[in-house]
Amino acid sequence: MKEFSDSPASEKIPFWFDPKKRAILFQFITFCMVGLLAYYLISNTLINLKRQNIATGFSFLHKESSFEIGESLIAYSAASTYGRALLVGALNTIKVAFVGIVITIILGTFIGVARLSTNWLISKLAAIYIEVMQDIPVLLQLFFWYAIFYETLPSPREAVSPGAGIFMSNRGVAFTIPEAHPAHKSMLLAFVAACMIVYLIRRWARKRQEKTGQFFPTFRVGIAIVLGLPFITWLAFGAPMEMDVPKLIGFNFEGGLTVSPEFIALLLGLVLYTAAFVAEVVRAGIQSVSKGQREAAMSIGLRPALVLNLVILPQALRVIVPPLTSQMLNLTKNSSLAVAIGYPDFVSVANTTINQTGQSIEGVALIMVVYLFFSLSTSAFMNWYNRKVALVER
Amino acid sequence: MEQAVQAEELRPPITSVGFIGWLKNNLFNGVLNSILTIMTLFFLWKVIPPIFRWAFIDSAWHTTGQACRQAAGACWSIIYTNFRFMIFGFYPFEQQWRPFVAMMILFGLLFYSRNRNHWKKPLAYAWIIGLFTMGLLMKGGIFGLKSVESTQWGGLPLTLLLAVFGLTAAYPLGVILALGRRSKMRGVKVLCILYIELIRGVPLISLLFMSSIIFPLFLPEGININKILRAQAAIILFTAAYIAEVVRGGLQGMSRGQYEAAESIGLNYYLTMRLVILPQALKIVIPPTVSILISAFKDTSLVVIIALFELLKTTQSVLSNPEWMGFSREAYFFVAIFYFLGCFSMSNYSRRLERELSRGD
Amino acid sequence: MNEEISINTEKQTSQGLMIEFIDVHKWFGEFHVLRGIDLTVSRQERIVICGPSGSGKSTLIRCINRLEEHQRGRIIVDGTELTNNIKNIEKIRAEVGMVFQHFNLFPHLNIVENLALGPIWVRKVPKKEAEETAMYYLEKVHIAEQARKYPGQLSGGQQQRVAIARSLCMNPKVMLFDEPTSALDPEMIKEVLDVMIELAQEGMTMIVVTHEMGFARSVAHRVLFMDFGKIVEGNTPEEFFANPKHERTRLFLSQILH
């Protein structure tokens, strides 16, 4: 009769049957293989780089770039460094991504709601838009809009004007903007002040409602203040109405605000494409709230606006926000396609840099790092948001 | 006392059924909707007839580039004349039946695979043989077929090739990554997480750049891998990360009971995964997997940036020809139709699958 | 043709009728779901409606608070007629409480917030007072200890009792119950029915769509049987169960009372 010992480990098992030891062995082998592969690749690379006389390291960032960049938010010339050039590219990426995200969210929400409309015509049109725009590659859409600009629009001398001081030509779109005036600074300050005031009013109104039950129309009053305060400031400065109108000088427009064809084509392509996906996200979010929620809220006597604000939206937003941030990240990543139509975003500038310095590894690594930064911050945000609004369940 | 219930033949009010009822309920219910309907109809009336006129009435179909410019409408001749180049790229003219047959085999296999009842072992073998045959047809060199270098492959076959081989190779890799990510072995898990997050965080274009510029650096002098293969590798690595995430979702959705039942029968890790877990998990995530396939199909268009002559680039070459310059609208529209048909049929299929799967077929 | 059975007067108090249906018809597209309903409900009266599925019983009570719209006939609730007039609809909804088959508690709010929502935003009651009312009704349905929990943390029976309390917080004059126990596990049905019985004993006007015949027997003044969009017959529970007058009623009863 065998005696069962208390600790099974006291029995001698050959290590290839012990799961723990097997795991360690397996990982060891994996690491060795990965390590060997990395060693092989890296050593080849170093040899090849040496052979082709390509430098390594990031010292090129301090060298003069000697190429021009079509549009830039900060001062830049061919005499600036590569580092500065890349900064310009990054700012351009942020510019198109920011504007793109704002417009896409608005447009996408609009189309998503339209898709759910009880109006058959509107709902069907929205559905067609969503299906078509999702199924055509974004790069193709970019090329299409870019081509439209160059083939359909005339030269600045014959610019098309849909009115209101806007001039569309194949050199871009020139907008009439208000002439720079000291009033603008004050208006901006007034706007910021108005926002703070509205925030304070909201807190006061909420406390008052908790105490007395009285309802305060914060929304309407808030809008009035946010719009009204800057308006009053404007009036106080004598209502300056001078406009900076683009004038045709020589072959192009001067003055006003000009937006390049590359920017507009990129923006149009990105926005129209991503909005289709956002529309689906919004639609799914709204539909995820069961019909019974709406019925229960109505049967208590809540008005439609309150039903939406207190019951439907909080639940819908939980479902909408995570995939929405995914789509915003996709838009940012897709903006890298700017290199195909000549908009100087980060990838574009990095590409030129790589071509000139030959330092492809550093260049591509930089590109990846920048976009990884965007992705990881977005993931972090999404995780935080999900944790914050998670529905409490058993 | 029995009361016979009389079936009263009362009709619903005329405004709630029939065509008028449909109009009222769907187009004109409420003030806002009625206004919207009228505005939309007006907009459509303004926009559609001119487009129709441009596309069909004033258009030129079989003319030269010169004559096209005289025409007020669309120039479809650009497509008619350049059709074979756009579709097949630089592939030798007389041998173009080969990529054509390859595509037919692919479409045939796809069509046959649509019915889930056919998803048995023979189908898998059919696919393997089919893919092998397609590669053979394209490359040639044996069976009396003239050898065609991969640098000459282009157009639609190239697009399909990149997408199909991409997904086929990425799928097993993605599954392995997903399993690795859920592994209890810390080292393996970390490696997989690093890979997946890195790849998902960067745009495909950076990987394509890497493939065209950096991969050559990884190889010792003298060894050259052609561009298409490198781009294909980049697409595979990229798609695998996304598949890994989707499969991970499926694995997470499996109840612990399945793992425990397998364990209690005495199955080891490999058998558990192969026989119990993966068949169920992979089935659950078929719809998101199809959506990855659709994205991969669209993403093949990006190789235009590294100058591979797939469908989009061949079209652009045609447009840079002085004779056909300036007809981008028509050319891009034509390309868009291909992509649209492909993606639309795939997403339709995916929706159908989703319905079937949720019904528990 | 419906039978209008008049009620045993002892339970009927005064001041006119609570709810009146006058020749009410409703269609879902071509489907004639309510075929001429004539019904009156007095204050403090308790009615149970039963019938096979598809007979229109849910539709009938959902017409009372305008979750469904009727196309012909008139519905009058506490003296106010139900038309497309929003003001009337909102007024009626505040007086009519409804309990749903699937509870429909708001998952993103805790229990007290669920209950206080209506009083705060519809009756404009200060938060403290609303929460006190909420706690009062939570006590009544014997669930006060769960006040700060979230609906997802409660069992089905608990959720339904909270749902009843939520409707009560609005001080309704009528309570509608749409198959309140059909979605519950058997062991939880009793706790909900007990609450409903207590409610009945306090004199609430109730219209209940249910198959729980034990409940009907103990508290209903009238039991109505609906089939194919009509009220086939209605009577006091004793009469209804002992002497059903129509063949269809007999058939239905034999199916549910096994």
The model's confidence at residue A312, banded by pLDDT at 50, 70 and 90, is: very high
Residue ranges making up the domain that contains B173: 84-91+148-359
pLDDT score of C51 more than 50: yes
- CB contact under 8 Å between A51 and B221, yes or no, is yes
Asked if A296 and C104 touch (Cβ cutoff 8 Å), the reply is: yes
Give the model's pLDDT for residue A5. 47
pLDDT score of B119 more than 80: no
Mutate to test the interface with A, among B301, B337, B346 (most CBs of A within 10 A): B301
- Among the partner-chain residues C27, C228, C230, the one whose CB lies closest to the CB of B16 is C27
- CB contact under 8 Å between B5 and C228, yes or no, is yes
What CATH number does residue B228 fall under? 1.10.3720.10
Nearest-CA residue of chain C relative to A312?
Answer: C106
Q: How many residues does chain A have?
A: 394
The model's confidence at residue A60, banded by pLDDT at 50, 70 and 90, is: confident
- B166 located within any domain: yes
pLDDT score of C5 more than 50: no
Rounded to the nearest integer, the mean pLDDT of chain B is: 84
Calculate mean pLDDT across residues B332-355: 88
Distance from CA of A319 to the nearest CA of B (A): 17
Most confident of A73-82, B6-15, C5-14, C42-51: C42-51
pLDDT score of B236 more than 70: yes
Nearest-CA residue of chain A relative to B198?
Answer: A372
pLDDT score of B6 more than 60: no
The model's confidence at residue B1, banded by pLDDT at 50, 70 and 90, is: very low
- B66 located within any domain: no
Rounded to the nearest integer, the mean pLDDT of chain A is: 86
Give the model's pLDDT for residue A2. 47
Set of chain C residues whose Cβ sits within 8 Å of the Cβ of A315: 106-108
Domain ranges of chain A: 2-51, 82-179+242-389
* A56 contact B CB<8A: no
pLDDT score of C231 more than 90: yes
- Among the partner-chain residues A44, A119, A152, the one whose CB lies closest to the CB of B33 is A119
Distance from CA of C28 to the nearest CA of A (A): 16
pLDDT score of B306 more than 90: no
pLDDT score of C48 more than 60: yes
pTM value is 0.85
Calculate mean pLDDT across residues B299-320: 86
Predicted confidence (pLDDT) per residue in B126-136, tens digit: 888 888 888 88
B282 vs B246: CA distance, rounded Å: 9
Asked if A59 and A81 touch (Cβ cutoff 8 Å), the reply is: no
Give the model's pLDDT for residue C134. 95
The model's confidence at residue B91, banded by pLDDT at 50, 70 and 90, is: confident
Give the model's pLDDT for residue B11. 76
- Among the partner-chain residues B187, B203, B332, the one whose CB lies closest to the CB of A140 is B332
Predicted confidence (pLDDT) per residue in C63-77, tens digit: 999 999 999 999 999
Predicted confidence (pLDDT) per residue in B252-293, tens digit: 878 888 888 888 888 888 888 888 888 888 888 888 888 888
Distance from CA of A311 to the nearest CA of B (A): 24
The model's confidence at residue B18, banded by pLDDT at 50, 70 and 90, is: confident
- CB contact under 8 Å between B336 and A333, yes or no, is no
The model's confidence at residue A11, banded by pLDDT at 50, 70 and 90, is: low
Set of chain A residues whose Cβ sits within 8 Å of the Cβ of B220: 44, 47
Distance from CA of A220 to the nearest CA of B (A): 21
Nearest-CA residue of chain A relative to B306?
Answer: A340
Give the model's pLDDT for residue C64. 94
- CB contact under 8 Å between B16 and C3, yes or no, is no
- CB contact under 8 Å between A296 and C107, yes or no, is no
Name the percent of chain A lying above pLDDT 90: 37
Neighbours of chain B (3+ CB pairs under 8 A): A, C
Calculate mean pLDDT across residues B325-354: 87
Name the percent of chain B lying above pLDDT 90: 15
Nearest-CA residue of chain C relative to A390?
Answer: C108
The model's confidence at residue A177, banded by pLDDT at 50, 70 and 90, is: confident
Residues 133-172 of chain B with CB under 8 A from chain A are none
B27 vs B40: CA distance, rounded Å: 11
Give the model's pLDDT for residue A385. 87
Q: How many CB pairs under 8 A join A and C?
A: 91
- B136 located within any domain: no
Predicted confidence (pLDDT) per residue in B162-196, tens digit: 888 888 899 999 999 999 998 888 888 998 999 99
Higher pLDDT, C258 or A201: A201
- CB contact under 8 Å between C106 and A293, yes or no, is yes
B359 vs B346: CA distance, rounded Å: 20
Set of chain B residues whose Cβ sits within 8 Å of the Cβ of A47: 220-221
C125 vs A210: CA distance, rounded Å: 8
Rg (CA), chain C: 18
pLDDT score of B298 more than 60: yes
**ipTM (interface pTM):** 0.85
Predicted confidence (pLDDT) per residue in A215-224, tens digit: 888 888 999 9
Give the model's pLDDT for residue C258. 67
Secondary structure letter of residue A213 according to DSSP: -
Tell the burial category of A3 from Cβ atoms under 10 Å away from its Cβ (0-12, 13-18, 19+): exposed
* A30 contact B CB<8A: yes
> What CATH number was assigned to the domain covering residues A82-179+242-389?
1.10.3720.10
Give the model's pLDDT for residue A16. 67
* C89 contact A CB<8A: no
The model's confidence at residue B111, banded by pLDDT at 50, 70 and 90, is: confident
Asked if B303 and B162 touch (Cβ cutoff 8 Å), the reply is: yes
Q: Which residue has the tokens 């007999």?
A: C250
Higher pLDDT, A104 or B72: A104
pLDDT score of A42 more than 70: yes
Calculate mean pLDDT across residues A124-137: 94
- Among the partner-chain residues C1, C27, C30, the one whose CB lies closest to the CB of B6 is C1
Give the model's pLDDT for residue C15. 58
A382 vs A374: CA distance, rounded Å: 12
Give the model's pLDDT for residue A8. 52
* B48 contact A CB<8A: no
Calculate mean pLDDT across residues C204-214: 92
A347 vs C179: CA distance, rounded Å: 62
pLDDT score of A124 more than 90: yes
A144 vs B265: CA distance, rounded Å: 59
pLDDT score of A153 more than 90: no
pLDDT score of B3 more than 60: no
Distance from CA of B254 to the nearest CA of A (A): 19
Give the model's pLDDT for residue C46. 94
| Contacts of A273 by beta carbon, 8 Å cutoff, 6+ apart | A133, A134, A136, A138, A141, A334
Q: How many domains does chain B have?
A: 2
- Among the partner-chain residues C71, C228, C247, the one whose CB lies closest to the CB of B16 is C71
Name the percent of chain A lying above pLDDT 70: 96
- B310 located within any domain: yes
Predicted confidence (pLDDT) per residue in C21-45, tens digit: 999 999 988 889 999 999 999 999 9
Give the model's pLDDT for residue A112. 94
Alpha carbon C218 to its chain's center: 16
Set of chain B residues whose Cβ sits within 8 Å of the Cβ of C30: 12, 17
Set of chain A residues whose Cβ sits within 8 Å of the Cβ of B319: 147
Structure token pair of residue C192: 């909900």
Distance from CA of B2 to the nearest CA of A (A): 39
